[in-house]
Amino acid sequence: MLVARGLRIVERNFRVRGGEIDIVCRDGATTVFVEVRLRTRGDFGGAAASITPAKQARLILAARHWLARHGESPCRFDAVLSDGEKLEWIRDAF
């Protein structure tokens, strides 16, 4: 989905103490940090609701580490959400 829309995958499953990024992409000069969430049941609000403020803080921490290692650039946080049947890509998710 991301590659088909012009993004180039740079890294998968980047981990640091305190955080993880599922996919790191490039969209032109922009670094895109992508959180992938699958929720087959909507009991607790679905996939989008599972990206809580605490989860966002962990993603931001990991992104800061990634940028420190690979060079600063404009960046954004996207999400790829699935309910088990369809995928939804949200640009600038937070």
How many independent structural domains does the chain possess? 1
- Give the chain's residues under pLDDT 70: 39-46
R_g (Cα) of the chain, nearest Å: 13
pLDDT on residue 48: 74
pLDDT on residue 80: 94
Looking at residue 34, its amino acid is: V
Instruction: Of 25, 44, 46, give the one whose Cα is nearest residue 35.
Output: 25
Domain that holds residue 67: 3-90
pLDDT on residue 45: 61
Assign residue 81 the CATH number of its domain.
3.40.1350.10
pLDDT on residue 39: 67
**Token pair in block for residue 49:** 């609701």
Question: What distance in Å separates the CA atoms of residue 69 and residue 78, rounded to the nearest whole number?
Answer: 20
